[in-house]
Structure 1
Amino acid sequence: MTNEISYLTFDVEKLTQFTIAIFEQMGVPAKDAALAADVLIKADLRGIDSHGVARLSGYVRLWQKGRINPTPNIRIVHETPTTATIDGDAGLGLVVAPFAMQGAMEKAEKYGSGWVAVKNSNHFGIAGYHSMMALQKDMIGLSMTNASPLVAPTFSTERMLGTNPICYAFPAGKYPPVVMDMATSSAANGKLEIAQRKDIEVPEGWIQDEYGNSTTDPNGLKKGGSLLPLGSDREHGSHKGFCLSSIVDILSSVLSGGSYGPWVPPFVSFLDPLPDQPGEGIGHFLGALRVDGFRPADEFKQHMDNWVSRFKSAQTVEGQDAVIIPGEPETAAELERNKSGIPLISVVVDDLKCLAAKMAITFPETK
């Protein structure tokens, strides 16, 4: 294997306009295309390259397969003052999830908290985008989604759960918000895809082969293996990762009426959903809590600053300068990339150029 990796850097606005053009070519209305592009570009800006424009060709293939509805009728199908269930009508999760989060925030403004479950959706990008929407209103945001079954539960070799990410976003004062955005598997599938593109091995504990043996082969999933829950194995707490992932699956789809467990529709277009679906599409769960429902917002943010400051000053192990606060690396990446541009590895650039040619859209020049 080789560690030779080449990057090309692109202007943020030009890459955004290209992404919008791809979605519009799929028949997505201009407003929704801009929103979908914003979700993907936000991932690239925050350094979560696995969930940015590298995913574009995957969305196009699903649309070509008829599994994404570019003009969905997103609607509430069940509602109380503080809760709702939304049918995404097979729309882009990049559009459906922000719609749901906006609904949760509106309920929170009136009643202190709002909770929205979603069914019949698709891959929604980074969970952080949706949780962070709540920050603008001095709210705590929560978002999670189930995903294609790639993860085997503890003591199993069968793929039963997705990477099932979960994210909390907390507003702060002088410091950036604290954003905890993570997969409930040992690694997100997107990181595995990056390793495949870079042709490098993955760390021990990410994957097991079809017999349940640990492997560092980035193509282990393609050979019949599975991702492992957070914790990797029972001795290192994988049962806790399994439990967290199960919570995401249940809240996202058992609660909403979406498909769950091994029935969650696969992201890749050449695999069809399993027969006898117990629900409709991918599910999400989003929530918003008004900080001032618990204590004055300014007071809370002052103490969040104190929390951050104290953790940053914690004594560190040898060779480390400071404790890393959740969301801190992503905030730093966003500041830098907004100025310098978005770096993409060459194989992703080649994929996007091929997509541009097929859809008759001009691909932007490097910065």
Structure 2
Amino acid sequence: MDSAKKDDVFAIEALRDWATRLYRAYGFDERDADRIVDSLFFAELHGIASHGLQRIGMYDMLIGNPNGGVDVNAKAEVVRETPVSAVVDGHHAMGQITSAMAMELAINKARTSGIGIVTVRESNHFGAAGYYTNMAAEAGLLGFASTNTGPIVLPLYATHPFLGTNPIAFSMPAKPHPFFFDAATSIVSHGKIEVCKKEGRQLPEAWMVDGHYQPIWDPKQVPARPGLDVDGGMLPVGGMSEETGGHKGYGFSILAEIFCGILSQGNTSSEVDGLGIRHGVGHCFAAIDPGLFGDPDVIIDRFSDYLEQIRRVPAAPGHRVYVHGDKEEIAYQAITAEGVVRLDPETVASMRSVGDRMGVAFR
């Protein structure tokens, strides 16, 4: 593991063991460390590198930060509850731990009442939103998850950020694998910009604009931190104008704020500082039992057939028609069959630096 070449490969189980020991070294108990690592590897093994092991460096900045961030000893608390809903105060615990607890609560409510929806306030970055919707799908339920983030996205035609990347995810059981949609309401997730920067690539499209509303192509010109006073920022889904549909992504982002910041009575993205170091982010999780609407097996079989019909729609030359979740399943099967993951040099260097400082050598 001394080499940090771009094509370095690392055994999945060895990496998982190292990551678990790392989070135990921070002070998390075994169960919580396993949950954090499970979230990271869900992303990594499904080909979502932006939310995989490259996040270890960011979490290191948040854990134990004197200005706030993640409190290793904090425990999330249910502060309001009905048979179908709850509000959770994360008390600045690790986002994955609070979020898994909230989704489990939503799932339990759906099993007894048909639906469960849980909002969360004062939390932290929770990883890939689809990790939590997948929890619901594995329980035979429809799953929804969303989060707000620090302000880094521009309202349409604005020159300063006010919104977060605010992803929305949804999963539903299907055959041969669940339908799995997970997307930022910004034109891409911020993690994809980080990946371009690490790999030394220009941004392939107009993902960001500067303070004059002109596209940024060099990821090195991307502001170092989110903030209301930063010139320029990321664009919403749809891009720079109403003609390309920028108002749609802008609206989707506000929907995420409603569920995550307003209903939770927590912070909106405009009230979160940077990566959430001083003010916690909000989430929302929901689980729905398809049995509310009829025989769940019949519903899922019909949905599976519907997705298969989409896959058979004629494709443009050189392309294939996928439905959401196909690419992630293909990546998962390929990566787990090979038993290794590939990490870029900057991520390897970051993991090695964090591990050395925490006394968990990355070797």
TM bin (shorter chain): over 0.9
The two structures have a TM-score, normalised by structure 1, of 0.92
Q: Do the aligned partners of 2:355 and 2:361 also contact (CA within 8 Å) in 1?
A: yes
CA positional deviation for 1:188: 0.5
Q: Do the aligned partners of 2:64 and 2:72 also contact (CA within 8 Å) in 1?
A: no
Task: Identify which range, 126-135 or 256-265, moves more after superposition.
Answer: 256-265
CA positional deviation for 1:123: 0.2
Q: Which residue of 2 aligns with 1:216?
A: 217
Q: Which residue of 1 aligns with 2:39?
A: 39
CA positional deviation for 1:355: 1.2
Q: Which residue of 2 aligns with 1:348?
A: 347
Q: Do the aligned partners of 1:68 and 1:91 also contact (CA within 8 Å) in 2?
A: yes
Q: Which residue of 1 aligns with 2:201?
A: 200
Q: Which residue of 1 aligns with 2:272?
A: 264
Q: C-alpha distance in 2, partners of 1:342/1:265?
A: 33
Letter of the structure 1 residue corresponding to residue 45 of structure 2: L
Look up the SS of the partner of 2:343 in the other structure.
Answer: strand
Q: C-alpha distance in 2, partners of 1:305/1:63?
A: 42
CA positional deviation for 1:347: 1.4
Q: Do the aligned partners of 1:146 and 1:264 also contact (CA within 8 Å) in 2?
A: no
1:230-269 equivalences in 2 (<5 Å)? 230-234=237-241, 235-267=243-275
Look up the SS of the partner of 1:219 in the other structure.
Answer: helix
CA positional deviation for 1:354: 1.2
Indicate which of 92, 99, 102 corresponds to 1:100. Answer: 102
Letter of the structure 1 residue corresponding to residue 181 of structure 2: M
1:1-367 equivalences in 2 (<5 Å)? 6-66=6-66, 67-173=69-175, 175-222=176-223, 224-234=231-241, 235-267=243-275, 273=278, 281-320=280-319, 322-340=320-338, 341-364=340-363
Q: C-alpha distance in 2, partners of 1:29/1:229?
A: 38
RMSD of Structure 2 on Structure 1 (CA): 1.4
CA positional deviation for 1:203: 2.1
Q: C-alpha distance in 1, partners of 2:220/2:185?
A: 20
CA positional deviation for 1:92: 0.7
Letter of the structure 2 residue corresponding to residue 237 of structure 1: G
**Percent sequence identity over aligned pairs:** 30
Letter of the structure 1 residue corresponding to residue 236 of structure 2: P
Look up the SS of the partner of 1:124 in the other structure.
Answer: coil
Letter of the structure 2 residue corresponding to residue 208 of structure 1: V
Q: Which residue of 1 aligns with 2:227?
A: none
CA positional deviation for 1:265: 3.3
Q: C-alpha distance in 2, partners of 1:11/1:109?
A: 38
Q: Do the aligned partners of 1:229 and 1:238 also contact (CA within 8 Å) in 2?
A: yes
Q: C-alpha distance in 2, partners of 1:42/1:93?
A: 15
1:103-151 CA distance string (max 9 Å, x none): 0000001110000000010000000100010112210000000011110
1:60-92 CA distance string (max 9 Å, x none): 111131421112221110111100000111011
Q: Do the aligned partners of 2:159 and 2:213 also contact (CA within 8 Å) in 1?
A: yes
Q: C-alpha distance in 1, partners of 2:198/2:245?
A: 30
Q: C-alpha distance in 2, partners of 1:208/1:76?
A: 40
Q: C-alpha distance in 1, partners of 2:135/2:336?
A: 19
CA positional deviation for 1:293: 1.0
Look up the SS of the partner of 1:181 in the other structure.
Answer: strand
Q: C-alpha distance in 1, partners of 2:205/2:301?
A: 41
CA positional deviation for 1:339: 2.1
1:283-337 CA distance string (max 9 Å, x none): 00000000111121110121122111100110112221x2111011111111111
User: When the two structures are aligned, how many residues end up with a matched partner?
Assistant: 349
Q: Do the aligned partners of 1:259 and 1:265 also contact (CA within 8 Å) in 2?
A: no
Q: Do the aligned partners of 1:146 and 1:283 also contact (CA within 8 Å) in 2?
A: yes
Q: C-alpha distance in 1, partners of 2:306/2:142?
A: 16
Q: Do the aligned partners of 1:140 and 1:289 also contact (CA within 8 Å) in 2?
A: yes
Q: Do the aligned partners of 2:269 and 2:281 also contact (CA within 8 Å) in 1?
A: no
Which consecutive residues of structure 1, in runs of 5 or more, have no partner in the other structure? 274-279
Q: C-alpha distance in 2, partners of 1:219/1:243?
A: 29
CA positional deviation for 1:261: 2.8
CA positional deviation for 1:215: 2.0
Q: Which residue of 1 aligns with 2:228?
A: none
1:148-187 CA distance string (max 9 Å, x none): 11100101011111111110001013x2111011010001
Look up the SS of the partner of 1:73 in the other structure.
Answer: coil
Q: C-alpha distance in 2, partners of 1:206/1:294?
A: 40
1:198-253 CA distance string (max 9 Å, x none): 11111222010121111212133227431000011222011100000111012101
Q: C-alpha distance in 1, partners of 2:9/2:290?
A: 39
Q: Which residue of 2 aligns with 1:276?
A: none
Letter of the structure 2 residue corresponding to residue 110 of structure 1: T
Q: C-alpha distance in 1, partners of 2:112/2:240?
A: 44
Letter of the structure 2 residue corresponding to residue 250 of structure 1: I
Q: Do the aligned partners of 1:29 and 1:71 also contact (CA within 8 Å) in 2?
A: no
